Structure 1
């Protein structure tokens, strides 16, 4: 019984350390991705992951016109 009384708090401390490590790591990843997003937004005047429907339509129309 003495070993269990010693092992349980040690396992609790190890579990708390693991949870803290992952929480800090994910927080740093989130901050870096937000900083990268903010930097990209200021570089090109706005964050646009995809083109607008007007741009896609204009590109399709231009490719159709060049094929004719």
Structure 2
């Protein structure tokens, strides 16, 4: 029996196993990130922070700089 006839099916099995592993891993990571997003939205009373929060941060930084001077 030729060595290639044995090696080819083994390499195919290894390749399919690796592809399955990565597919399952990425699915779990995606599921976890959606779960984390849902939890963060619940803790923030739902939704994303508006651009107003960045304006507030800039205003605080400016006030801190002025108070230090």
TM-score when normalising by structure 2: 0.75
**Matching of residue 31 in structure 1 with residue 34 in structure 2:** no
In structure 1, stretches of 5+ residues that fail to align are none
**Number of equivalent positions:** 66
Could you tell me whether the CA contact under 8 Å between 1:37 and 1:47 is conserved in 2? Answer: no
Asked whether the 8 Å contact 1:41–1:47 carries over to 2, the reply is yes
Cα-Cα RMSD:
2.1
d(CA) in 1 for partners of 2:62, 2:7? 70
- Measured in 1, the distance between the counterparts of 2:6 and 2:61 equals 70
Question: What runs of 5+ residues in structure 2 fail to find an aligned partner?
Answer: none
Secondary structure at the aligned position of 2:63 is classed as: helix
SS in 1 for 2:33: helix
